[in-house]
Structure formats: C-alpha cells, structure tokens
Structure 1
C-alpha cells in the first residue's frame, strides 16, 4: 500500500538581523520542523556550539532515521536522533547542564493507512480532515508551569535558575536537548489516512498569527494553499510590526518562522 505525502511545500525565514534557528526536512512519507531552543542570557548551557549547529545536526539525524528506520515509532526515532546529536558534541560540552541548547520538534508521517504526528515543545502540527475540521497539537506546557516565578509580567519570562529545575523534568516541560527520555513525553496522535486532507507544521514564529493576531486555522490553510507558506511568514512580519503591544507575550518581538504545508494522497494498492 502506497501512502506517500503527495506534496510538501515550505518556507523558513530568520527573524530580522538574526540567524535562522529553525529547520525543515522532508522525505517521501514524512516532514519535520525544528525550532531551536536558544540560550538564556549569561548562560552557556554547558555547550560551545551555536544553536544553529544543534538544530542542523538534530534535523539531519531525524531525517536519516525517519528514512531508514521507518518501522519504528516516532518517539523511538526522536530519542535515537537526540542520542546521535549528543554523540556529535564530543568532550567539549557538558551535556549534564539542564539549560543545554535544544529544539522544539514537529513530525508528521504516513505509515500504512495512518497519518501519525509528534510534537515536543512549542512547535505545532495542525491536521485538517476531509470535513474541514482541525486537530491542533501544540505543546504549551512551558506556559502552564505550577507556581512559576514570573520575572517580567509584561512578557512572562522565567528566571534561568528556575527553568533549570523544570526543564526536561517530570511536572515541568520537555525539549529535544540532552535527555533522550524527553521523546517519550511528546504529544502524539494518529488518524486514518482516508480522513485527512492536509496538515500544517509550524514553528511558533508562525503560530503567533493565531495565538497573538486573531487568525483562524481555516484562514492559515487558505493562505498557505492559495499563496504558499511564505505568505504566512509575510503576514507574521506585517502583523508583528503593526501590533501596538507586541511585547505583551512571552518571547521575542520577532522570531524565526517556518511553515510546511503537507497534502496527502489516498491509499493505493
């Protein structure tokens, strides 16, 4: 039975005057988006490598394992890719540091007669079924930490010393960094291939159109289909520039932005 993605189109763009810490990869039956989890001010995270190095290596390992180990589960593949990226560091980095750089992850693939997805940290997978209904998968546990001390209420940031106690820890939040067990904490889902029309994979530099600027997922899919994923990024830049209180939210005024639109064939066989 052949259940390949019929088409995957994407766009990725750095925030103004910065390096792009997002990554996209795709194969015959899978696609992924990574969003680099950067360093906290004044903290090295025990690592000498830039975040771009982290996401590049993790993306390459994921791409290889999704292609070669296609019978394995998505958490297995992500854990294996994290281990392989850890091995790339060598002795120059202290991988025991809980603030080691990492990435948010969104993976989508077809396997047999199913569409499967995995989300870890603040990337998103949004699946549209044949009736136009949307299943939205965003891992927002970092925004719901119990009794979290807020350093700056205007942008809801957390002190790095606090983050070190809850990052990749039970009851906290999880990223793809130096704890392979984080893969088992990812949000997972699946649906029959015959029921799914298309999907969007986005970094949070794109989902802010919905989360901050009042867009609907229906509008997101319409623009992506009519004008391509780059149009979503253009709309993000326009909306961020026009908003009077853009620093109201935790995070950057502008962010790296990546969007991938995946359309599906029906099963053949």
Structure 2
C-alpha cells in the first residue's frame, strides 16, 4: 500500500513445476509495484504494472511459460479520479453508500477447459480431494499455460509485461465512489456462497472485523465442507485476502 494506492496480489498455486517459488515472485512484484507507484503517483497504472512485471522477470530470471503467476488488483486515488485495475480473477467491489459495482477478470474461468468442469463435478459428487483431483489440477494448469497471456486466452501477471495492457481498467470520478473492497477469489468465493456478501458493510469493517470474517469462511471450509461438495473449489482452503478502502482515507 502507498499513500494513494491499495494493492492486492494473489499468487497462483503451482500444481506443476515453476522456475522460482510463487512466494518469491509475489514478493518481488509487490516491491516493484509499491516503489514505482510511490515514485510516480500520476503515471498510467498499466505502465506501472508492465514495468514491474518486466523488472520482476529480469530480477528472478524468468521466462514466459515457466514462471509463477499472480493476480494484480489496484485501487488508486488521484486528484479528481479513482483508477481501478484488475488483472486476473481477484475482484474489486466498489460504490457509493449502498450501491455496489464489481470489477473482476473472469477470462480464465471462461476458457472452457474440460478438466475445470470435471474437477468441479467430481467434488460436487463427493469424491473429495483425492489423487485423481490432484491429477486433474495438473492437467488443467498445463492447459491453462498454453492459453496464458495469449489473445483469446487469459491474461495474468507472469513474465510478459504485455499482460498489463490487457487488464480490465476503469477510471471513475472521485465523487462517484466512497468505498472499495479488494478480494481474492479464496475470500469472495466462500463469502458469496455463505450469503455474507454485504460488500458495503464489509468495506466498513476494521482489520479485526475483516480477519474475523475470513476466519469464519476458513473454518466453514475446513470443518463443514472439507470435501468441497457444497462449494466446489480447487483447494480445501485457498489463501484469503481482503483490503477495505474508504476513499476519504486515501
């Protein structure tokens, strides 16, 4: 986070080998993003993300197709506008008072890969997180890699800076937005499934309230739906992050 910007990154779990640990990729990318956004507060957000991806790839000696990947979500207040930037399937909920809009890049879920449908169907049938499930996820990731950062595929922060030029972006009049909430899919998935998705209310929670909400979701996943039957998902409990922004605070 910078004085004017909130950033959420969600590194993708690697079910097939990658060149460096996902945590190293996310940490390095995050450092470059924070530094560049702080130094150039008026610079185009996509340019900042593209430069940060390039710098990360150079620092870690990454090549496209063998690198870890991460979503990038940014809410950035400028003088009279608020920029929203979404690369990957983390979500930005935002609005004024009780009116809610959503920005989320769902292109990876729209690829129509057979293994994506199959693993969800098996979980719904009660098979759980068995060896076949893990094999399906490996095959799914290999198929996704072939369509990663390609026209007609999906775009994600990895080693190709061109991904930043294909993010979903919105620029809003600052008077039209009073709050925003950045959420990883591991957070908004169970929140929505459990009917807890009052996003304006969640955006008003303090850090303790957000942590309590995330713990409630994690407990439900591990204790009540540990086989993924009610809410089919790749892992029993994915990483969860929420970042609430009251725009007058920026």
- TM score, norm. by length of structure 2: 0.84
**CA-to-aligned-CA distance 1:176-233 (integer Å, 9 cap, x gap):** 0011101111111122212222111111121113443233234752772595321221
Task: Give the CA RMSD over aligned residues.
Answer: 2.4
The match for 1:177 is 158
Q: What is the aligned counterpart of 2:43 among 50, 53, 72?
A: 72
The alpha carbon displacement at 1:113 in A equals 0.8
Q: Which residue of 2 aligns with 1:51?
A: 22
Cα 1:33/1:265, change in 2 over 3 Å: same
5+ residue gaps in structure 1?
A: 1-25
Q: Distance in 2 between matches of 1:264 and 1:71?
A: 17
Q: Which has the higher strand share?
A: 1
In the other structure, the counterpart of 1:149 is 114
5+ residue gaps, structure 2: 124-135
Question: How far is the alpha carbon of 1:125 from its aligned partner?
Answer: 0.9
Cα distance in 1 between the residues matched to 2:52 and 2:166: 15
Q: 1:82 to 1:244 in 2, by over 3 A?
A: closer
Measured in 2, the distance between the counterparts of 1:53 and 1:222 equals 29
TM-score normalised according to structure 1 size: 0.78
User: Matches of 2:181 and 2:50 in 1, distance apart?
Assistant: 23
1:2-33, CA deviations, whole angstroms, 9 ceiling, x for partnerless residues? xxxxxxxxxxxxxxxxxxxxxxxx11110100
Give the length in aligned residue pairs: 232
More helix by share: 2
CA drift at 1:99: 4.3
**1:134 CA displacement:** 0.7
Question: Could you say which residue in structure 1 is the equivalent of 2:52?
Answer: 81
Q: For 1:112, what is the secondary structure of its paired residue?
A: coil
SS in 2 for 1:154: helix
1:264 is aligned to: 247
Q: Structure 1 residue 70: deviation in Å? A: 1.5
Give the match's secondary structure for 1:265: helix
Query: SS of the counterpart of 1:228?
Result: helix
**Structure 1 residue 67 displacement after superposition:** 0.7
Higher RCO (CA 8 Å, separation ≥ 6 residues): 1
CA–CA distance in 1 between the matches of 2:104 and 2:46? Answer: 16
How does 1:1-269 map onto structure 2 within 5 Å?
Answer: 26-40=1-15, 43-45=16-18, 47=19, 49-90=20-61, 93=62, 95-96=63-64, 98-130=65-97, 132-146=98-112, 148-150=113-115, 151-152=118-119, 153-154=121-122, 157=137, 159-218=140-199, 221=202, 224-225=205-206, 228-240=209-221, 241-243=223-225, 246-247=228-229, 248-265=231-248
The CA deviation at 1:258 is 1.0
List structure 1 segments (4+ residues) > 4 angstroms apart after TM superposition.
155-158
